[in-house]
Amino acid sequence: MSDDRQPDDILKAAKKGQAAPFYLFYGPGEFRMERVLTALRTLLVPEAARDFNLEVLYGDEPIEPEQIINKASSMPFLAQRRLIILRRTESFTADRLERFLPYLDNPSSSTCLIFISSRTNFSTKFYKKFRSEGAAVLFDELKGNQVVPWIKKTASEDFGMTLGEAACASLLEVVGNRPRELYSEIEKLRLLYGKNVSLEQVKEAVTHSRVYTVFELMDAVAMKDCGSSLRILKRYLEEEDSRDGPLGLLSMLNRQVRLLWQAKAVLLKRGGVPEVQKKTGLPPFVVKKLVEQAPRWTEKELRNGLERLRQSDDRLKSGSSPRVILEILILSLCS
């Protein structure tokens, strides 16, 4: 995976008018992938010539590799480049995928052919070809210290906004690392406050959202504030009517307990904020709270907390009442 390209590399090249004759796009970062594809359409094929030089094909439709190769081998019409996007590449069998290999060995320089695959096997000849040519592009989930720069860059490039470091960190804390939700929140902030958005405005905009309630609950549990935790849980359950809501809450509590355990381990070795940040990959804004919360927990309490979470997950999936299970869980974690 070390040889795989990053999405920003592809965009930088395209902005200079450069593009490889073929790419493989893969990975769980679907939202980021779609944004890059939209940008490539604009950068590589002029709008006036798009009807003749842009094609989107699907591997699960009745189409053969040779038909796609013929399209890719055709010269662009009134433009310098053709762009062909093949979605659902994973629908082709390994044998059919190998029929693309002669073209990949000698591709058209005036076509950019992008294969999109939700399942890859880099031990096969087809997928191995992209990695050996440096044409495999990984769209991973945003992680750790990648998120705040992504928020800042997206706000600036897509909305002409200025978001400070603390405002971006606050948005990350509330929304998490999900690009689609982050993008929606940035768009909302732009509509509410314009181009310059302060930390206070970010907090005001998200305070009443359900996702904020979840993080508010995480903080209350981490501080072992039983009364506040139960009040916030009640509010959450009143707002959340989907079946998956309680399970999602358990997942977040599991994450919080594990983060507390990681912070606790660092603090026991006389580490501080920098060491906890390195261990967790979280921004300083979040790490400072973890460092304050972790000493309230013993290692035994954290271990027991994970076991209670597992038991609660089993009970929820067996059809027991979510409200009762979650209230008992919160009481056991905070006591």
The type of residue at 212 is Y
Look at 183 and 100; give whichever has higher pLDDT.
100
Q: What is the pLDDT of residue 295?
A: 94
CB atoms within 10 A of CB 97: 22
Name the pLDDT band for 180 (thresholds 50, 70, 90).
confident
193 pLDDT more than 60: yes
Q: d(Cα 285, Cα 165) in Å, to the nearest integer?
A: 10
Average pLDDT, the chain: 88
Residue 189 backbone dihedrals phi, psi, to 5 degrees: -60, -40
Q: d(Cα 168, Cα 145) in Å, to the nearest integer?
A: 11
91 pLDDT more than 90: yes
Burial of residue 10 (CB within 10 Å: 0-12, 13-18, 19+) is buried
2 pLDDT more than 70: no
- Which residue shows structure tokens 């433009």? 79
Q: What is the pLDDT of residue 99?
A: 97
Name the pLDDT band for 128 (thresholds 50, 70, 90).
very high
Identify the CA nearest to 30 among candidates 107, 73, 75, 87.
87
Q: What is the pLDDT of residue 244?
A: 63
Residues 6+ apart with CB under 8 A from 100: 65, 68, 69, 126
Average pLDDT over residues 78-103: 94
Average pLDDT over residues 172-195: 84
- Which residue shows structure tokens 């998120």? 147
**Six-digit token pair at 10?**
């592809």
Average pLDDT over residues 93-109: 96
The type of residue at 42 is T
Q: What is the pLDDT of residue 329?
A: 94
Asked whether 141 and 29 are in contact (CB, 8 A), the reply is: yes
Q: In angstroms, how far is the first alpha carbon of the chain from the final one?
A: 45
Q: What is the pLDDT of residue 37?
A: 92
Average pLDDT over residues 51-57: 92
Q: What is the pLDDT of residue 27?
A: 93
Name the pLDDT band for 59 (thresholds 50, 70, 90).
very high
243 pLDDT more than 60: no
Q: What is the pLDDT of residue 209?
A: 58
The type of residue at 187 is E
Identify the CA nearest to 207 among candidates 241, 173, 252, 156.
173
Q: d(Cα 276, Cα 274) in Å, to the nearest integer?
A: 6
What three-state secondary structure class fits 103? helix
| Distance, CA of 114 to chain centre | 21
Q: d(Cα 323, Cα 233) in Å, to the nearest integer?
A: 9
CA gyration radius, the chain: 24
Asked whether 84 and 114 are in contact (CB, 8 A), the reply is: yes
Q: What is the pLDDT of residue 239?
A: 63
Q: What is the pLDDT of residue 251?
A: 87
Asked whether 296 and 260 are in contact (CB, 8 A), the reply is: no
Look at 284 and 47; give whichever has higher pLDDT.
47
Task: Give me the DSSP letters along 162-212.
Answer: EE-HHHHHHHHHHH-S-HHHHHHHHHHHHHHH-SEE-HHHHHHHHTTSHHH
234 pLDDT more than 90: no
Name the pLDDT band for 281 (thresholds 50, 70, 90).
confident
Say whether pTM exceeds 0.75.
no
224 pLDDT more than 60: yes
Task: Give me the DSSP letters along 233-293.
Answer: HHHHHHH--STHHHHHHHHHHHHHHHHHHHHHHHHHTT--HHHHHHHH---HHHHHHHHHH
